[in-house]
């Protein structure tokens, strides 16, 4: 509670009136010289002369960059590398979701074992609980949770709009009530950046409004314009406050299902020269075709030398299709959330281990799978654990599902390096049955 | 369901009428020649001439025995070794409880890491779910759950009396309704033995009635007499059916708070020459003094060359005190159950990690503790996980608590070997605050 109150004070009486001041920092030399056009820098980030003139601390920040290793000839798929303060991320990458300072039911060493390179932390959740005083005193999120690889933090925007009650959006930010105890809270671009800074995030996300689906054009446009102004303020805050700190900041493209709005949003963000670009407002209940269209309507306007991140997606074939559309980064709760319902991912689609057909099945979830679950436990045993509501059951499926997602991304990267991505894509998507999360027979 | 029906048929139409036949096997040569008095065999099991005449398979069974390594001069404490088909158990030993085919929230490899030598499986629970057809088809409980060290199974008696509804006790056995779905079930001495055989248990417990606390003398006496007759039938079944199988069978002393009844029960069981003796009817709500008295009233009548097992106990100082009273084996749900409530064991007593004092405490639960939780995670982080109801929180405390119990038993064994048990006992019990499971400050 204390943490929240401190931030409330900080943002309402402190940050808010300074907005215009902060916006002026957007014209600072650092930002101006780091602006590059998308075309100039393709296919590799160029270390230009201006970078060499930065001081040491700023240089360490500038050293971090995205490198395109190879691109697919038949699609927009890319194999890349993103440098962060906590290590290099090979892309395309899947980021397990660590909502409350833990990827549900797993330890950091288990995450390393299944091949996680980077995880996502939730600004909204960690802001409310344990609160920033705790995280700060414990030395940041990496140290708090014992994870020493990269962390990307979201902006809190999505949760404010999906979880909290009684929210009120103003130009300044969003007033809302905590979904935990109803306490009044406030998030703004500056507060979101401050929180992500306190968390010690490697990759900050700009504070955005994520409109619902469906959403009328007029609202979508007004919302994305506000999100652009908020992105401006985020960029202002980070340029000033993160000078020399090895942090990356990503903008978020909004615009709903409207092609021109996606373009407008993307171009507006690119003008602010973020370190990467997310495509938001997807996975909010829209049909898969709309989701793909949102990517198709945004991606062409994003610089090729910066990573692209599709937020909150998706099923395994969706990931493959998004990679083919030029997306480099993904996060999704499906592998961990479905595990808790007894659902496991396989190359032929999901299976629900509660089903009677697995009752005495002594095979692992997937023959030949290298995960620790498939090395040691049968479908029959896992089914028993899930039916008996034993925690070990969801633990074992969580490990398998995360391994499946992370292994899929490894396969994609290998195929891109080998120049065989088109074949891999066709084969994988054809093999994978349509995703049916609710399929369960007695 | 199928499994239960099969067993119902087996027990009601098959086993039941054969009771008298089976009892007659108690007079078989095998049982007769394996009878030894407690005194004759102290302090070590003697391989007598009769054993040499057994055939090979029977010999492998007879080879398993309990060996007293050393005894304490100041108390009845003993350091021993119990041989089973799945390896040697060093006693005094604590057995983590794997009620439903898993020690809650842990993997077998984690159990090995914290030093578990043997775990307990619950006949009643596994009989109801997943059912014996599943366990049988999956090759027994060891293979089903991936645990290749010893397993002791209880008889189902305790759960029938504590969990199930509408039970009806007859001389033949107990009719009851499943606590899961109300399905009518039946357990008898023979059925319990059959189930434990199907589970592939290393140590069978005889089927007993566990009377409640308090319990009038007349009922306690009638109950223990029936339990003795049931023990007779268990011994008959195992002598006939387990011939040559490397299994141990323990009897259970009952008799409530009545000294003469405990003596009567113990002597009656010893006459059946079990491989070990449990003291039951403890940890059923009685005061600690009564619990200790139940041990004191039973132990003197048990052979010194057989292991003694206090069922369902206890707190760390209770374990130390029970060891001093001659008990070798323990099982208890406290370390796993309290972990789920945020309670951790330390040498100074339990602490509740939900408490505000741990909010920013960056120390581990116990400084210097070798468990994986204390090696990597702070009290502040674990408190956050428990408050946020994250599974990792209870996982981390479970590991620490099991490590604490198993490390305590290692310390006891080391002290017994070094001849320093009296000092260890005094110091440990003095340091350990009184157990307060419900202590929690806001």
Q: How far is CA B193 from CA A354, A433, B186, B234, B414, in A?
A: 30, 46, 13, 7, 35
* Mean pLDDT over the full length of chain B: 86
Is there a catalytic annotation at residue B197? Answer: no
Q: What is the pLDDT of residues A326-360, one digit of tens each?
A: 999 999 999 999 999 999 999 999 999 999 999 99
Nearest chain B CA: its distance from A17 CA (Å): 32
Residue A162's pLDDT band, with cuts at 50, 70 and 90, is: confident
Residue B307 has pLDDT above 60, yes or no: yes
Please report the residues numbered 314 through 373 in chain A whose beta carbons come closer than 8 angstroms to any beta carbon of chain B: 359-360, 362
Q: Quick one: DSSP state of residue B76?
A: S
Residue B293 has pLDDT above 60, yes or no: yes
Place of tokens 């090696």: B375
Residue B62's pLDDT band, with cuts at 50, 70 and 90, is: low
Could you tell me the pTM of the whole model? 0.87
| Contact pairs from chain A to chain B, CB under 8 Å | 120
A17-26 mean pLDDT: 30
Which residues of chain B does A145 touch, with a Cβ-Cβ cutoff of 8 Å? Answer: 381
pLDDT of residue B63: 53
Place of tokens 């604490």: B404
Nearest neighbour of A100 by CB, restricted to B107, B130, B390: B390
Answer yes or no: do B384 and A137 touch at CB < 8 A.
Answer: no
Neighbours of A76 (CB within 10 A): 18
pLDDT of residue B19: 30
Q: What is the pLDDT of residues B156-185, one digit of tens each?
A: 989 988 887 778 999 999 999 999 999 999
pLDDT of residue A165: 73
Residue A267's pLDDT band, with cuts at 50, 70 and 90, is: very high
Place of tokens 């796993």: B336
Answer yes or no: do A129 and B390 touch at CB < 8 A.
Answer: no
Say which of B72, B154, B275, B305 is annotated catalytic: B154
Output the CA torsion A364→A368→A371→A375 (10° steps): 50
What is the per-residue DSSP string for B110-141? HHHHTT---EEE-HHHHHHTT-HHHHHHTTSH
Nearest neighbour of B129 by CB, restricted to A100, A144, A388: A388
Nearest CA in chain B to A373: B107
Nearest chain A CA: its distance from B82 CA (Å): 28
Nearest chain B CA: its distance from A245 CA (Å): 25
- In this predicted structure, which of A337-351, A422-436, B106-120 has the lowest mean pLDDT? A422-436
Closest by CA to B376, choosing from B357, B385, B363, is B363
What is the per-residue DSSP string for A322-357? HHHTT--EEE-SHHHHHHTTTEEEETTEEEETTSGG
Residue B65's pLDDT band, with cuts at 50, 70 and 90, is: confident
**Which residue ranges form the domains of chain B, and what is each CATH number?**
56-331 (3.20.20.105), 338-431 (no CATH)
Residue B59 has pLDDT above 80, yes or no: no
Residue B16's pLDDT band, with cuts at 50, 70 and 90, is: very low
Q: What is the pLDDT of residues A381-400, one digit of tens each?
A: 999 999 999 999 999 999 99
Place of tokens 């409330």: A8
- Reading across the β-sheet that carries B203-205, which strands appear in turn? B93-95, B329-331, B308-310, B276-279, B248-253, B203-205, B151-153, B119-121, B97-98
Nearest CA in chain B to A396: B107
Q: What is the pLDDT of residues B324-352, one digit of tens each?
A: 999 999 999 999 999 999 999 999 999 99
pLDDT of residue B57: 40
Answer yes or no: do B104 and A392 touch at CB < 8 A.
Answer: yes
Q: What is the pLDDT of residues B356-408, one digit of tens each?
A: 999 999 999 999 999 999 999 999 999 999 999 999 999 999 999 999 999 99
Answer yes or no: do B388 and A101 touch at CB < 8 A.
Answer: yes
pLDDT of residue B434: 56
Which residues of chain A does B381 touch, with a Cβ-Cβ cutoff of 8 Å? Answer: 101, 138, 144-146
What is the per-residue DSSP string for A135-180? HHHTTSHHHHHT--S-EEE--SHHHHHHT-EEEEE-SS-EEEE-TT
Nearest CA in chain B to A180: B388
Neighbours of B74 (CB within 10 A): 12
Is there a catalytic annotation at residue A331? Answer: yes
Q: What is the pLDDT of residues B411-436, one digit of tens each?
A: 999 999 999 999 999 999 999 975 45
């Amino acid at each position: 509670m204390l943490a929240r109150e401190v931030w409330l004070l900080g943002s309402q009486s402190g940050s808010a009136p300074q907005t215009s001041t902060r916006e002026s920092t957007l014209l600072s030399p650092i930002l101006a010289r780091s602006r590059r056009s998308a075309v100039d820098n393709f296919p590799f980030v160029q270390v230009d002369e201006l970078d060499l003139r930065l001081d040491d601390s700023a240089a360490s920040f500038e050293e971090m960059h995205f490198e395109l290793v190879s691109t697919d000839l038949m699609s927009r798929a890319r194999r890349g590398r993103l440098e962060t303060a906590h290590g290099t991320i090979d892309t395309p990458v899947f980021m397990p979701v660590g909502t409350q300072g833990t990827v549900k039911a797993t330890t950091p060493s288990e995450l390393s074992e299944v091949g996680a390179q980077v995880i996502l932390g939730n600004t909204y959740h960690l802001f409310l609980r344990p609160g920033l005083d705790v995280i700060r005193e414990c030395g940041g999120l990496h140290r708090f949770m014992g994870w020493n690889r990269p962390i990307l933090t979201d902006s809190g925007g999505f949760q404010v709009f999906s979880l909290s009650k009684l929210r009120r959006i103003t130009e300044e930010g969003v007033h809302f009530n905590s979904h935990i105890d109803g306490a009044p809270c406030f998030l703004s671009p500056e507060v979101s950046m401050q929180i992500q800074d306190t968390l010690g995030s490697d990759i900050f996300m700009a504070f955005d409004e994520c409109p619902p689906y469906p959403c009328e054009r007029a609202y979508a446009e007004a919302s994305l314009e506000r999100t652009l102004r908020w992105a401006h303020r985020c960029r202002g805050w980070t340029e000033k406050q993160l000078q020399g700190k090895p942090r990356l900041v990503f903008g978020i493209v909004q615009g709903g299902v409207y092609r021109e709005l996606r373009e407008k949003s993307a171009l507006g963000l690119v003008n602010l020269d973020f370190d990467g670009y997310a495509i938001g407002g997807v996975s909010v209940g829209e049909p898969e075709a709309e989701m793909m269209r949102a990517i198709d309507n945004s991606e062409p306007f994003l610089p090729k030398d910066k990573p692209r991140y599709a937020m909150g997606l998706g099923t395994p074939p969706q990931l493959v299709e998004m990679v083919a559309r030029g997306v480099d980064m993904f996060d999704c709760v499906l592998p961990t959330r479905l595990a808790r319902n007894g659902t496991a991912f396989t190359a032929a689609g999901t299976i629900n281990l509660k089903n009677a057909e697995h009752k005495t099945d002594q095979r692992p979830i997937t023959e030949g799978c290298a995960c620790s679950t498939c090395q040691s436990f049968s479908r029959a045993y896992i089914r028993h654990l899930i039916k008996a509501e034993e925690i070990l059951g969801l633990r074992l499926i969580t490990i398998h599902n995360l391994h499946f997602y992370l292994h899929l991304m490894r396969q994609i990267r290998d195929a891109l390096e080998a120049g065989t991505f088109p074949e891999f894509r066709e084969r994988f998507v054809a093999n994978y049955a349509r995703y049916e999360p609710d399929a369960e027979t007695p």
